[in-house]
A = this chain, B = another copy of it.
Amino acid sequence: MPRPPLPPAPTIRPAARLSAALLSTALLLSGAAAAEAPARGPTVSEVIAAAAPGDWRGIDPESTLVMELASGPVILELAPALAPLHGANIRALVREGYFDGLTVVRVQDNYVAQWGDPEEEDGRGSRPIRTAKAALPPEFVVRDGTALPFDAIPGPDAYAPETGFVGGFPAARNPKTGEVWGAHCYGTVGVSRGDPDSGSGAGLYAVIGHAPRHLDRNITVVGRVLEGIERLSSLPRGTGPLGFYETAAERAPILRVRLVADMPAAERPALQVLKTGTPTWDAYVDARRNRRDPWFVEPAGAADVCNTLPPVRRAP
């Protein structure tokens, strides 16, 4: 895989490693200083540090939602290429204020946090949907995905012939059928449903555990949490069946949800996502597959799609 012209990897000091908190996720320091060893190529944090401004993209204000919990914002980006109808409907739901004052209804350990109308009983819920649609056809799979730009990563994958990214969202592809679908990784956001065509976006969930890839192609994937997933993943687990909360007092309120496009300029989160399909991206994938921090003694030489998610940062 081609690598961008990065500076030679410095010998990494523990202090420098600690400062790269977001991406040096491999460190499990017990306090001792790691042995210094010559690195054979850039580490993940070195690739990120060396990325040029043009290696990053901004977020789409019309496709990015800010959900405010008491603990702070959860920011998620919709993937219109994977689910255009659901994306548009979620936009309409947000703009009619549908989510404001609703709650997180379910947190199931190693699985999902789900939010929406806690009073929902019959698929439409006690809160009326005014301008948006109450049900949509499934968008579990893009049947003809051959036109979608797909940045594949090296395989194999347990679940799909090919995995990679569509617009920065984890996805899978079947080259024989041309089908493309969103992949359930940590932070993936999908649309709750009963029957296959009962989803509208009024109920949503985010993955907070090991990738439940068996959900792929069975439910509509609409996007990905870019920031604040820990505000969902650290919530108390529901004690009812499937992790549903049993009492109103347990449910974390959703103060409001806004599209970034509808926020005052000063309040908009200045997030950037590393672009896929660039030489820097290739170096990032390679560094995720072959960890070169001196802590590692045996680089895996592999990384699954959910361990290769595009980094997100606040614009410098």
Contact = CB atoms under 8 A, between A and B. Distances in A.
Interface string A12-47: 000000110100111111111111000000000000
Nearest to A28: B192
Contact of A302 (B30, B159, B300): B159
A175 interface: no
Number of copies: 2
A216 interface: yes
A199 interface: yes
Interface in A214-238: 214-219, 229-230, 233-237
Q: Which of under 10, 10 to 19, 20 to 34, or 35 or more describes the interface residues of A?
A: 35 or more
A313 interface: no
A209 B186 CA distance: 7
Interface string A103-135: 000011111101010001111010000000000
Q: What secondary structure prevails in chain A residues at the interface with B?
A: loop
A281 interface: no
A173 interface: no
Interface string A225-269: 000011001111100111100000000000000000000000000
B211 A210 contact: yes
B193 A28 contact: yes
A192 B28 CA distance: 5
A11 interface: no
A190 B28 contact: yes
The interface centre, meaning the residue of A33, A121, A242 with most chain B CB atoms within 10 A of its CB, is A242
Contact of A30 (B31, B120, B159): B120
Contacts of A243: 21
B300 A159 contact: yes
A109 B196 CA distance: 32
A137 interface: no
A108 B28 CA distance: 11
The interface centre, meaning the residue of A214, A217, A306 with most chain B CB atoms within 10 A of its CB, is A214
Interface stretch (A54-62, A83-91, A150-158): A150-158
Contacts of A297: 140, 196, 217-218
Nearest to A135: B32
A243 B159 CA distance: 31
A316 interface: no
Given A21-B243, A32-B193, A186-B210, 14 more contacts: A25-B111, A26-B218, A28-B205, A28-B215, A30-B198, A31-B123, A32-B122, A159-B302, A194-B295, A209-B209, A211-B211, A214-B291, A214-B300, A218-B297
